[in-house]
Amino acid sequence: MTMLEDAVKARSLEETVRVRDLSELVAETIDPDPVTNEAKTPVPSTQMV
Partner 1 sequence: MNEAITRQILWNVPVTFIVLMYALLAALSGAFVFTAIYWYRRVQLGTPECRSDRPLLRAWLMLRDAIGQGYVVRETWGWMHYAIYVGFIGLFIGTNIIFLNGDIRDLAGLFGLPLYFYFGDFYLFFKAAMDSFFVIFIVGVIASAYRRRIGKPWILSQPPADKLLDNNENWLGYWYPLLMLVLVAVTGLMLEGARINATHPHFTEWAYLGRELGRLEGVLGAGRSFHRWLWLIHMLLVYALLFAFPFSKLRHFIIAPINLFFRDLTPRGRLFPIKDIENAETFGVGKIEQFTWKQLLDMTACLECGRCMINCPTATTGKALNPKYLVIEQREHLLAKAPVLMAGKTYDGSIDASEALKGVRADADMIRDVATDQAVWDCTNCGWCEEGCPVGIEHIRRIDDMRRHLVMTESRFPHEIVTAFKGIETQGNPWGLSQEKRADWAEGLAIPLMAEVADPAQIDALYWVGCLGSYDRRNQKVSRAFATLMKQAGVKFAILGKEETCTGDPARRLGNEYLYATVARHNIETLGRYKPRRIVTQCPHCYHNLKKEYPDFGAMGYEVLHEAEFLEELRRTGRLRFERPLAARITYHDPCFMARHDGKWESARALLHAIRKLNCRMPPNRKTAPTVAVRVVVVSGKRKSAELALTSTDSISLYGPSPKRWPWDVLSA
**Contact pattern from residue 15 through residue 34 relative to partner 1, giving x for each residue in contact according to CB under 8 A and a dash for the rest:** -xxxxxxxxxxxxxxxxxx-
Torsion of CA 23, 24, 27, 33, to 10 degrees: 100
Whole-number minimum distance, CB 17 to partner 1, in Å? 6
Whole-number minimum distance, CB 45 to partner 1, in Å? 12
Number of residues interacting with partner 1: please give it, by CB under 8 A: 38
Residue 45 touching partner 1 (CB under 8 A) = no
Closest CA to 46 of 30, 37, 35: 30
